[in-house]
Amino acid sequence: MPIKWSAVKVNDAMDMAEEFVNQVAEPLEQAKIVAREAKKMANLPQYIDQGLNRLIGQIERMDNVRGAIKSVRASIPDGAMEAERNILKHGTTQSLM
Average pLDDT per consecutive 10 residues, the chain (97 residues; last block may be shorter): 85 97 95 98 98 96 92 95 86 60
Q: Where are the beta strands (DSSP E) in the chain?
A: none
Domains contained in the chain, number: 1
Q: Evaluate whether residue 69 is within a structural domain.
A: yes
Q: Evaluate whether residue 19 is within a structural domain.
A: no
pLDDT, position 5 = 92
Q: Evaluate whether residue 93 is within a structural domain.
A: no
pLDDT, position 94 = 58
Q: Evaluate whether residue 56 is within a structural domain.
A: yes
Q: Evaluate whether residue 60 is within a structural domain.
A: yes
pTM of this prediction exceeds 0.85:
no
Please give the DSSP secondary-structure letter assigned to residue 41. Answer: S
Q: Distance between CA atoms of 17 and 63, rounded to whole angstroms?
A: 14
Q: Evaluate whether residue 41 is within a structural domain.
A: yes
pLDDT, position 36 = 98
Spatial contact of 17 and 93, defined as CB atoms under 8 Å apart? no
